[in-house]
Structure 1
């Protein structure tokens, strides 16, 4: 529908024009009226009409002056002059201002209908041309942005954006997304200080002179919109340090590099370029961790298993690895855990290498990868029963349990109940096999662990005491000095002095 505004100081003329024809039948709708030129100018700005009927003779601002001011303000409506009498001077001025027609009052229906039909056709033709021109300009600018990001400076963009600072983000999905449709649909949340640029299978968002908080807020809205409307998850990355126009190409290259690490995070996490400033990696997927996971499975300790997998996830998200390396390293690691399980439990049925590869390589992100493999391992846990052990391996199992869970509240009574043995009998059996009473052996394991922890420069003595299973720090001091000939504090100081000597 084309919007019509009627401006006349005579109420009967305004009401008559509103009802003279069925406007909707001809593709028009009356959006408002005004009783003088000043009110009419305000309503033109408010309603943005396509066609304006305006009386020439009005008190205050007359029709000619009002149209002149509207034209100067950039209003592109079609103006039709209304006059109570024929006046050549007015007609001349109307033509000079580019008005569409000059109608004498009272307006005749047979004269009005052909006129509005002609204007309607003209409006639609002009809108079609404008749409094509806008589309061309849009395509042209998109091409220029692409060329700029590939390193080819564009003078036209420089003239328009050269003085701005930029934040840049990218939106990716493993599923097909019609970015053209997305761009059209999100205009309601777009602002004048942002641009969308389609680059191959991704969408880039450029923010002009915006804060990181503002940009991330927009990206969150965009992610939710795509998820709700298209039922598709996306990965979002952002260069969170502002760059100038000339450095946009370098920023884009950094963004592409950042995308290599999106696998490490879930869809609802926005990946920042500042996260690339990581420490040198420390090895985590060691035989020691593999053994610990195997023992957690063997002793049906799901909470401990959860802790290990949380540590693994944090490790990958801290040091950031590419998807290919994560998959390859994780496949080798899980296979090593499987070998430990098979070695100890030959009867156990495990997935084939082909199945492991399928599970690991089909996971869409790190979180899914860890969840799937954790569920596979936990399914094996119910097939392991370390507590129903043979007389030959009972003590080996108990020793392994102490090594794994030395920090817990352990006693011979607890171990006997766990492994379903008579306490007195188990105590004698343990002493015969290890040469130590149970409580002495447990103390030695704990104190050996304490010595390892005390070598770490950031560890406090009370923290070490708690970590190895002594809730009473005074008791820990007494035990440590008895076994090592010095207090924990003295031992820690001695180890630090050795470190200093080595580095001199």
Structure 2
């Protein structure tokens, strides 16, 4: 509802204006009336109306002085000025101030004219408010993310206690930490200031501002309107729950919300933001579609995220021993103990990345030994995206089981073909053909052709293409290299030819794959 205040020193005029419209049907609500400018100014500061309908000639403080006073306070009010014919010059001064939307002759005001001017004032207020909201959000982002000073929020409605939340679209875990680049918000998150503000209005909280962090995240700050409530933390939790319900109803992609509550001044907002942002980075420890209070999570202390509590030596020794002895039981035990230790006391994200890197290296070392192409273990699980640390653990265990029970694959590859595959894996980025591989390995080109067809059931070119495209996928997922560089690094001279081969192999162009076209 757009809030209205009527100001006129004649009661009969106030009653007449009030009776002209079914206000609520058009989205308006008369919040108060006043008979002089001084009373209207006090009401304006208390109610913060969108529109004021103001008479020019009034006692104590006239309409012109009222408009100037409200404009100086930057309250964003739009004015509809009413006067008699003889006051037109006086009204023109009011219009020149800049916050006056329109001017009406008192005795000519009827329902249609008033409605037209109200809708015009509403449109003008909405446009200005959109601009003010963008400025507030930009300022809030600067203060909270560390480039601005808390004192800059002095003119905002921000006052403790505060509630902060970060909404994050759930994405599968990857072996490389996600980039923190500040890019435009993906509209598929399906949120808006109006949605958040409306949900807050039904509670004791008010929305101070919101801003996008990147394609998958946005943050919002709330301040409690009624400071005397004892259930501040619980009431904010209820608001967060309603926001999560709204997001679920309006989008079929799962999202998690990380929130924090504190009653300190605005100087602590930056620390609160760092906590919710850190919690969102640790999403793999809690899974998807969650609503979590970050004050209760076992996060590493801010600034000590690289803390390591347990040596990796014992774990690595057990892994190496299990691989060397082909002892799957010992290997699985080492993997389970390691993953369980990662979240036993504190969520240790750096050690999780290290563990994934170690296990991926062991897998690919064994694959290379039997002539198989390297893989990204987390990205190869197309049908079951991995959101939780337990899922990652089980995925690695299954891959090692499959590897240990596929001895027939290793046995069927001849040493001659293994030598050729090793050479190709080391030189795929060069302009190689079967003749170069043949010469390097001492195998005739025709016999090498036969080995590929008989033992791998594919041609030399098929294997080389798969090798190059797999490496290109890895670069596109984890690096920000230019396409010409990617092309060169995987052995293609022409970017156009590389794009054609990539699309034929994967079904999409390289840039589409980089921007999330692949399934995880």
Q: TM-score, normalised by structure 1?
A: 0.45
Largest Rg, 1 or 2: 1
| Structure with the larger RCO, 1 or 2 (CA within 8 Å, 6+ apart) | 2
